[in-house]
Structure 1
Amino acid sequence: MSTLTTPRSRWRTRTLAAAGAVFLGISMMSATTAVADPMPTDPREGLSAGLYDAGVAASGVEHLATLQKTAGLSTNSDIAFKDDMAIVGNYNGIQFYDVSNPSAPELVSILNCPGSQNDVSVVGNLLFMSVESTAARLDCVPGSSAPVFRGVRVFDISNVTNPVQVAAVQTCRGSHTHTVLQDPDDTENIYIYVSGTAGVRSAEQLAGCSNETAEAANPSRWRIEVIKVPVANPAAAAVVTESRLFADATTGRVDGLQNGPTAESPRHPSGANYSPSPNTNACHDITVYPEIGLAAGACQGNGILIDISDPANPKRIDAVADPNFSYWHSATFNNDGTKVIFTDEWGGGGGAYCQPIHQSNWGANGIFDIVDGKLKFASYYKIPNVQTNRENCVAHNGSLVPVPGRDIMVQAWYQGGMSVFDFTDSANPKEIAFFDRGPISATANASGGFWSTYWYNGNIYGSELTRGFDSFKLTPSAFLTENELAAAAEVSSTQTNVQGQAHFEHEPSFALAKALVDQAERAGTLTGDALAETRLQIALAEELSADPLNEPATLAALAKAAEAAGEGTDASNALIALAGKLSGGSIPVEATVPQAADGSLALTVADFGDGVSLSQAENAGDRFVFEGELPDLTVTDSRNARQAGDGGWAVAGRSTDLTSVGGSVEAANLGWSPVVKTPRAGLAAGPESVVELDGGQGLARTSRLAHATADGRMGSATLGAGLFLHLPVNTDPGTYSGALTVSLFPVD
Structure 2
Amino acid sequence: MKTVALRRTLSAAALVALGVGLLAVPANADPNIPETPEQSRILGDASRTADVTAEDESVGNLAPGTGVPYLGMDPKAKMLAAGEQESVKIDLVKNIGLQPGQTTMSNMAFKGDYAFQGSYGGFVVYDISNPEDATVAANVNCAGGQGDMSIAGDLLFFSVDQPRNGSACDAGSIASSSADAWEGIRIFDISEPTAPQYVGNVKARCGSHTHTLVPNPEDEGSVYLYNAAYDVSDTAFYCKRPHQQLEIIKVDLDNPAGAAIVKEYKPWDDENPAFTADDRPNGGATTSATNGCHDLTAYPEKGIMAGACMGDGVMFDISDPLNPVVTERVRDENYAFWHTAQFSDDASKVIFQDELGGGSSATCIPNTPQYRGANAVYAIKGQELELKSYYKIPRRQSTFENCVGHEGNIVQVADRDVLVQAWYQGGASLIDFTNPSKAKEIGYFDRGPIDATRLVTGGYWAVYSHNGYLYGSEIARGFDVMKLQGDEFADAVRHRQDVRNPATQQTISWPWKKAPKASGTLPAASVSPASVPAGVATDVTVSLPADTFTSGEYVDVWSGSKVVASGQAAANGSVELTVPVAATEKAGTKSLVVRGDSKLDDALYSASVELTAVSTTTSVKLSRTSQVFGSTPATVTATVSGAGAQGTVTFRAGSTVLKAGVPVKGGKATLTLPKTLAVKTYAIRAEFVPSSTATTGSTSSAVTLKVVKATAKVKVSAKKVKASARAKVTVTVSAKGTTPTGKVTVKVNGTSVKGTLKKGKVTVTLPKLKAGKHTVKVTYAGSAKVAGKSTKTTIRVTK
Match of 2:212 among 179, 184, 191: 179
- Identify if the C-alpha distance between structure 1 residues 223 and 104 changes in structure 2 by more than 3 Å, giving closer, same or farther: same
Secondary structure in 2 matching 1:489 = helix
Matching residue's letter, 1:164: Q
Could you give the per-residue CA deviations for residues 207-265 of structure 1, whole angstroms, max 9, x where no partner exists?
xx57355xxxxxxx1110000001222211110111111235xx3xxx71312352523
Q: What is the count of residue pairs matched by the alignment?
A: 487
Q: What's the CA shift string for 1:680-702, capped at 9, x where partnerless?
A: x99xxxxxxxxxxxxxxxxxxxx
CA contact (8 A) 2:214 2:225 kept: yes
Hey, what does 2:431 align to over in structure 1? Answer: 421
State the shift of 1:188 in Å: 2.3
Q: 1:147: how far off?
A: 5.2
2:166 is the counterpart of 1:137: yes
Q: Does 1:81 align with 2:128?
A: no
Query: Are 2:29 and 1:29 aligned?
Result: no
* Structure 1 pair 643–556 and aligned structure 2 pair: CA distance change class (3 A): farther
Contact 2:108–2:117 (CA under 8 A) maintained in structure 1: yes
- What CA distance in whole angstroms lies between the structure 2 residues aligned with 1:341 and 1:439? 27
1:121, 1:127 within 8 Å by CA — same for their partners in 2?
yes
2:615, 2:278 → 1: CA distance?
A: 78
Q: Which residue of 1 aligns with 2:708?
A: none
1:120: Cα distance to partner? 1.2
Report the counterpart of residue 785 of structure 2 in structure 1.
Answer: none
Residue 161 of structure 1 deviates from its aligned partner by 3.6
Taking a change above 3 Å as real, the CA distance of residues 33 and 147 of structure 1, as seen in their structure-2 partners, is same
Partner residue of 2:340 out of 307, 312, 330:
330
Aligned to 1:230: 252
Matching of residues 16-55 of structure 1 within 5 Å:
29-35=65-71, 38=74, 41-43=76-78, 45=79, 47-49=80-82, 54-55=83-84
Deviation at 1:107, TM superposition (A): 1.1
Secondary structure class of the residue paired with 1:103? helix
Output the amino acid matched with 2:183. Answer: R
- The yes-or-no answer on 1:435 pairing with 2:435 is no
User: Deviation at 1:139?
Assistant: 1.1
Alignment of 1:284-323 (within 5 A): 284-323=294-333
Counterparts of 2:612 and 2:452, CA distance in 1: 76
3-state SS of 2:149 partner:
strand
Unaligned runs of at least 5 residues, structure 1: 1-26, 214-220, 477-481, 512-539, 559-581, 585-635, 647-680, 683-708, 713-748
Residues 407 and 424 of structure 1 are in contact (CA less than 8 Å); yes or no, is this contact kept in structure 2?
Answer: yes
**Which residue is equivalent to 1:495?**
499
**Pair 1:155-2:180 in alignment:** no
Structure 1 residue 394 displacement after superposition: 0.6
> Tell me, what secondary structure is at the counterpart of 2:357?
helix
Cα distance, 1:442 vs. partner? 1.6
Q: Contact between 1:458 and 1:490, CA under 8 Å: does it hold in 2? A: yes
The CA deviation at 1:365 is 0.2
1:169 and 2:169 correspond = no
Match of 2:148 in 1: 119
- Are 2:475 and 1:471 equivalent residues in the alignment? no
Q: Which runs of 5+ in 2 are unaligned?
A: 1-62, 516-535, 545-556, 566-590, 594-607, 619-653, 656-695, 700-799
The change in CA–CA distance for 1:175 and 1:638 in structure 2 (over 3 A counts) is: closer
Question: In structure 2, what is the Cα distance between the partners aligned to 1:60 and 1:400?
Answer: 16
How high is the sequence identity, in percent, across the aligned residues? 37
Task: Kindly state the Cα deviation for residue 199 of structure 1 after the two structures are TM-superposed.
Answer: 2.6
1:231/1:710 Cα in 2 relative to 1: closer, same or farther (>3 Å)? farther
Distance, in Å, in 1 between the alignment partners of 2:260 and 2:320 is: 17
Note the 1:688-707 alignment, pairs <5 A.
Answer: none
1:504 corresponds to 2:508: yes
The CA RMSD measured in Å over matched residues stands at 3.5
| Contact 2:232–2:239 (8 Å) recurs in 1 | no
Against the structure 1 CA distance between its residues 644 and 135, is the aligned structure 2 distance closer, same or farther, given a 3 Å change threshold?
A: farther
Query: Whole-Å Cα distance in 2 between the matches of residues 201 and 122 of structure 1?
Result: 34
The one-letter code of the counterpart of 2:251 is V
**Counterpart amino acid of residue 419 in structure 2:** M
Do the aligned partners of 1:510 and 1:542 also contact (CA within 8 Å) in 2?
no
Mapped pair 1:110 → 2:139: yes
Structure 2: distance between partners of 1:444 and 1:384:
23
Shift of 1:507: 3.1
The answer for the alignment partner of 2:575 in structure 1 is none
The structure number with the bigger radius of gyration is 2
- Code of the residue aligned with 2:150 in structure 1: it is S
Match of 2:455? Answer: 445
Which is worse superposed, 180-189 or 371-380?
Answer: 180-189
Aligned residues of 1:119 and 1:178 also touching (Cα < 8 A):
yes
Alpha-carbon contact 1:175-1:194 (below 8 Å) kept: yes
Equivalent position SS for 1:132: strand
CA gap of 1:444–1:542, structure 2 versus 1, over 3 A, is farther
Distance 1:440 1:645 in 2: 81
Shift in Å, 1:312: 1.3
Q: CA deviation at 1:334?
A: 0.6
Give the SS at the match of 1:74: coil
Q: Report what 1:58 is aligned to.
A: 87
Deviation at 1:163, TM superposition (A): 2.2
Match in the other structure for 1:244? 266
Match of 1:259 among 269, 276, 291: 276
8 A Cα contact 2:355 2:406, kept in partner: yes
Distance across 1 between alignment mates of 2:317 and 2:538: 45
Could you say which residue in structure 2 is the equivalent of 1:189? 222
- Structure number having the greater helix percentage: 1
Q: Secondary structure at the match of 1:190?
A: strand
- Match of 1:264, SS state, is coil
Conserved? CA contact 1:541–1:557, under 8 Å? no
Q: Deviations over 1:47-95 (max 9, x none)?
A: 222xxxx210111111101111124321111010011111000101110
Is contact 1:36-1:431 (8 Å) kept? no
Task: State how far apart, in whole Å, the 1-side matches of 2:493 and 2:463 are.
Answer: 17
Counterpart amino acid of residue 505 in structure 2:
Q
Look up the equivalent residue of 1:449 and give its one-letter code: G
The partner residue of 1:375 within 375, 379, 385 is 385
The 10-residue stretch of structure 1 (97-106 or 430-439) with the greater mean CA deviation from structure 2: 97-106
Give the letter for the 2:156 counterpart. L
Q: Counterpart of 2:187 in structure 1: which amino acid?
A: V
Equivalent position SS for 1:351: coil
**Cα drift, residue 101 of structure 1:** 1.5
TM-score (norm 1): 0.60
1:409 Cα deviation (Å)?
A: 0.6
The one-letter amino acid of 2:336's match is: S
> Which one scores higher on RCO, CA 8 angstroms, separation ≥ 6?
1
Q: Which amino acid aligns with 1:186?
A: D
C-alpha contact (below 8 Å) 1:78/1:119 kept by paired residues: yes
Q: Give the partner amino acid of 2:152.
A: V
Kindly indicate whether the alpha-carbon contact (under 8 Å) linking 1:260 and 1:301 is maintained by their aligned counterparts in 2: no
Shift of 1:37: 7.0
Matched residue type, 1:163: P
TM-score by length of 2: 0.56
Q: What does residue range 684-723 of structure 1 map to in structure 2 within 5 Å?
A: none
Relative to structure 1, the CA distance from residue 314 to residue 644 in structure 2 (aligned partners, 3 Å threshold; closer, same or farther) is: farther
CA displacement at 1:202 relative to structure 2: 8.2
2:458 partner SS? coil
Q: What's the CA shift for 1:543?
A: 7.2
Q: Distance in 1 between matches of 2:305 and 2:539?
A: 44
Please identify, of 159-168 and 492-501, the stretch whose mean Cα deviation from structure 2 is larger: 159-168
